[in-house]
Structure formats: C-alpha cells, structure tokens
Amino acid sequence: MIRPLAEWYDLRDIGNAVGALLEQIEDWGAPEWVPYVVSGVIGVLAILLWTVISVLAFIWIERRVVGLMQNRIGPNRVGPSGLLQPVADALKLLFKEPVTTHNADRVLFWLAPVVIFIPTIVVFAVIPFGERMVLADLNVGVLFLIAIGSINTIAVFMAGWSSNNKYALIGAMRTIAMLISYELIQVLVLLAAVLFAGSMRLGDIVAWQQDYGVWLLFLQPLGLLGYVIAGAVEMNRSPTDIAEAESEIVAGYHTEYGGIKFGFFYQAEYLAGFAIAAVIVTLYMGGWTLWGVEEWVPGWLIFLAKLYGVFFIYIWSRGTLPRLRIDQLMAFAWKFLLPLALVNVLVVGGEMLLWQEADLSSGEALPLFGVINALLAVALIGGWAWFLGQLRPERVAHRAILTQEVGAIYYGEAAADL
C-alpha cells in the first residue's frame, strides 16, 4: 500500500501533496482550525474543477459518439473537430436573457435550478476518489447518498409549480412519480450492498472488496442491474427521460426555463450521471482499487477510468434504446423491479446469516454466494417476466419486416398485366 508519509510528489495519492501543505501550515504556527478549512477548500475546488472539465469534455464526446451511432457527424464547426462547441453552448446560455413567466412565483422559480444543482455536487463529498482522497469520510455515507438524492424530488416540484404553466406542472408530477418509484429500488439494492460489507461508510465498502479480492458486482448482479436502471431514471436520461409525452412539444418541468437557469438543470442532469457512475464504481467495482494495480497506477486514475466507462454505458443506451412510456416505466418499477429487489435483500440476509452460523471461510462462502446470486438473478428475471406474461408470443419483440420482403410494387404496363 502507499505509505502515509510518502513524498508530496507521489502522484499515486494526491492526498500526499495536500498533507504536506497542511503540515507546513501547522509548522507556521497557524490555529488548529486553519488546516481543516484549507483542506476543505482544496477539496471543494478540486471537485468543482474536475466536474466542469469532465462535463465539457463529455458533452462533446457524447454528441460525437451518438452521432456515429446514428450515422451523423456530430459537432464539427466550432474549433478543431468541434471541440469548442460545449464552450460556445455555455456562452450562449450565459448571455441569453433570463425570462420569468407572468404570475410565476419568482422566488421559487429562481431557487429551483439552484436547489436541483447543489445536491449533484454535494454527493461527491463522500465519494473516495483514492485511498485518502475523500472530502467527508462519513460513517453513514450510503445513508447520506440516499438523503441527498431525495432532494431532487422537492426541486422538481418547485420548478413545475412555480412556473405557472400546466405542462410544466404535469411534467413535474410525472417526474416526481418516477423518482419516488425508483428511489425505493435504489434504497433496497443499496441495503443489499451494505449487508455484504457490514458498513455504510463508502471507504469501508471499498476496503471490503479489496480485502476479499472480489467486486460486489459478482456477488450482487441483480442489485447492480436495479441500480443502473434506477440511476438512469434519477438522472432523467434516455430511454427513461419521459417527463413529457410525445404529443407535448414541451420540456417537462423546466419548460419555462431558459438561459443560465436552464443551464443549471442541464448541468445537474449531467453531474447526476457522474454521481451515479461514481456510486456504482465505489459500491460494485472496487472503487479506486484494481487487484494490486493501484500500487503502480494512481488509484484516482483507476477510479476515473472506471467512472467514465460506466458513464459511457448510459451514453450507449441513449443512442440505441427506444424511449419508454410513463405507464411502462412505472409498471416496470412496481411490478417487476420492486419484487425482485425485495427478494434480493432477503437472499443476501440469509447468505450473511449462513456465512456466520456455518463458520464458512471467505474462500468457500463468496464463490458459493456468487454462483447462487447469478443463477438466482437469471431465474428471477426470466421467471417473473413469464409470470407477468411478458414472454407470451404476442409480447415478444420480433425482427422488423424489411420493405423488399413485403412484395414488389408495379407501375404502368407491368401492373396491367397482373
């Protein structure tokens, strides 16, 4: 492992440089609270700088990748290969006039974008980017994630209700229904991960995976699937971005927002994607560890590589999957995912009890639990889909019929001869 007193230039852990700076401040005779405040300010600025750079980069990457998937070019005008297009879009939003609708609740109307943006930044405070690279190492980190994530529901309602627009209000109520439904799924799958690790501290969950040499995604495939789907709903990302119906040419709860206020909503949705990916990497993919590779490669680089890889899955789904209707998405949550998540929690509880009572070693218990949970995930998904009637022939998707397979079209004399 990286030595706690390693040289400040040891980039495997940026905390070394920060620690050296704090020690220097203490040597200067500063009060005890000064190093604490300085370390917090450095952490906040580092997170803000990383989020801004990552969002600008991935806006361009996503538009280019989705363009390739859909046989388009993507941004290519502003700057070389369109690299400056995100900057141009940001400047456009900054300089647009901030219009407030007539009879809107001005206080709530202006406050909603801020309220929905702040939680997406605060989430990263408890995420361990490296061995000592965490801003707030809370012993209830998982509970903190759940609590902060639930604030979005209030912000969405503030935006829809204060706009004095019926379409915005309808879109807000749809989004709130979606968020509440899938937050239940998130809580249940996070509970299963906490049962395995025996702690709600995110650093302890990463350490548990490192100590036993196994990622939770191999022990909790059903939980990971549930969290990935619930995360797509949480960040309002296709194919689950259905705050508005197809017949309503509006933008859901932020219909009346433009300029920098809309920019806050857009930035919040993008940051929510990074936050969901960071939680998935931390809880299910070993965080900043990689079976000893972190001894040679900086752990924070490993963490970011995993995070960007997970986020790319959401980009991929946006460019390939069709959108769902609100009734389909709600039925999928309550009729399909919720029962499976409840069964998953019961199974994990039984496995942990068996591990303790049977006095099994980790080498015996973990491979057994991995095989059981993988087979159980396949059986539950297939069995429950069959029980709900989703595997009936009339409901199973079939290959589309091509035009040339329908039959030829004849004109003129050829048609008269038929």
Per-residue model confidence as pLDDT tens digits over 118-172: 888 899 989 998 887 888 888 898 999 999 988 889 999 999 899 888 888 888 8
Question: Confidence band (pLDDT; 50, 70, 90) for 81?
Answer: confident
**Stretch 223-245: mean pLDDT:** 83
Per-residue pLDDT, averaged over 358-381, amounts to 87
C-alpha closest to that of 43 among 109, 119, 122: 122
Rounded Cα gap, residues 75 and 80, in angstroms: 10
pLDDT attached to residue 283? 93
Stretch among 98-107, 289-298, 363-372, 386-395 having the lowest mean pLDDT: 386-395
Check: CB of residue 303 under 8 Å from CB of residue 129: yes
Asked if 183 and 167 count as a contact pair (C-beta separation under 8 A), the reply is: no
- Gyration radius of the chain over CA positions: 25
The confidence band for 345, taking pLDDT boundaries of 50, 70 and 90, is: very high
Closest CA relative to residue 243, chosen from 160, 147, 121, 149: 160
- pLDDT confidence bin for 100, thresholds 50/70/90: confident
Q: φ and ψ at 9, to 5 degrees?
A: -85, 5
DSSP readout, 104-135? --HHHHHHHHHHHHHHHHHGGGG--SSSS--S
Q: Provide the pLDDT for residue 170.
A: 86
pLDDT in tens, 257-313: 888 888 888 888 889 999 999 999 999 998 888 888 888 888 888 999 999 999 999
- Residue 40 is predicted with a pLDDT of 77
pLDDT at 5: 46
pLDDT at 45: 87
CA angle 286, 291, 292 (to 5 degrees): 125
As a whole number, mean pLDDT of residues 324-338 equals 88
Residue 243: the pLDDT is 64
Say if residue 194's pLDDT is above 60.
Answer: yes
- Give the helix/strand (H/E) hosting 299: helix 299-320
Is residue 411's pLDDT more than 70?
A: no
The mean of the pLDDT values for the chain is 84
When pLDDT is averaged across residues 29-39 and rounded to a whole number, the result is: 75
Measure the CA–CA gap between 11 and 20, rounded to whole angstroms: 13
Closest to 202 measured CA to CA, from 120, 287, 271, 301: 287
Name the helix (H) or strand (E) containing 265: helix 259-284
Rounded Cα distance between 197 and 348, Å, is 11
Residue 342: other Cβ atoms inside 10 A: 13
Q: List, as own/partner pairs, every contact residues 87-95 make where C-beta atoms lie below 8 angstroms and the sequence separation is at least 24, other chains included.
A: 87/56, 89/59, 90/56, 90/263, 93/259, 93/260, 93/262, 93/263, 93/266, 94/259, 94/260, 94/263
**pLDDT, average across residues 107-126:** 90
Instruction: Report residue 167 CA to chain centroid gap.
Output: 27
* 16 pLDDT above the threshold of 50: yes
Least confident of 128-142, 215-229, 364-378, 382-396: 382-396
Cβ atoms of 206 and 289 closer than 8 Å: yes
Residue 265: alpha-carbon gap to chain centroid: 15
What end-to-end distance do the CA atoms of the chain give, in Å?
Answer: 82
Positive/negative CA dihedral, 168, 174, 176, 182: negative
Which of the four pLDDT bands, split at 50, 70 and 90, describes residue 69? confident
b or e along 362-399 (b: 16 or more beta carbons within 10 Å of the residue's beta carbon)? eeebbeebbeebeebbeebeeebeeeeeeeeeeeeeee
* Cα–Cα distance list, 50 to 87, 121, 288, 309, 329 (Å): 16, 11, 16, 16, 33
